[in-house]
Amino acid sequence: MLNEKLEQAFNDQINAEFYSEYLYLSMAAYFERINLQGFKNWMNVQIQEEHAHAMGLFNYVHERNAKVTLQQIAQPKNDWESTLELFEDVYKHEQYITSKINELISIAEEVNDRAAVIFLDWYVKEQVEEESNVSNILKTLKLICNDNNCLYMFDKELASRVYTAPEIN
Ligand code: FEO
């Protein structure tokens, strides 16, 4: 079983990960509209990753013989002025998710649930990678992508991203 407060926090995190999937789906739609297929591909991989993050938590709550309670998923933003503005939003969002994971771990520690703390360690490492990936894209956009030629070339690069299912344990 999970402590009641911890169970609620896990359910909140499941919602946050599904919201992430939804937000990135909205961003993929934006890239489809402006025909940046490489950026759309990057988002499609991200969508699958977020789904895996949510399902990892979903399965863990069940593994602990606790209750998954799905919540409403908020409407994401649907329009951006530029690719740069969009990736600034992605970076802020991933920092927010990192803070949510840290809060979840604080609750697991507070209720002395060592197993949950160990399980959540995977998410801590994943967030370091998530923030780093997005930060690198943001740096490229800020430093060198001042024109459409650069954006076009960068789009080709992001087309090569491939999804690999994570092993969450
Ligand atoms: Fe599941 Fe991008 O954090």
Whole-number Å distance, alpha carbon 145 to ligand 1 midpoint, is: 25
Tens-of-pLDDT digits for all 169 residues of the chain? 999 999 999 999 999 999 999 999 999 999 999 999 999 999 999 999 999 999 999 999 999 999 999 999 999 999 999 999 999 999 999 999 999 999 999 999 999 999 999 999 999 999 999 999 999 999 999 988 778 888 999 999 999 999 999 988 7
What's the token pair of residue 140?
């490229």
Whole-number Å distance, alpha carbon 154 to ligand 1 midpoint, is: 23
Quote the pTM value.
0.96
15 ligand 1 Cβ < 6 A? no
CA distance to 9, 36, 80, 119, 169, per residue, from 27 (Å): 27, 11, 9, 30, 29
What's the token pair of residue 163?
């999804």
The answer to whether residues 134 and 90 touch, using CB atoms and an 8 Å cutoff, is yes
Q: Which residue has the tokens 């703390």?
A: 117
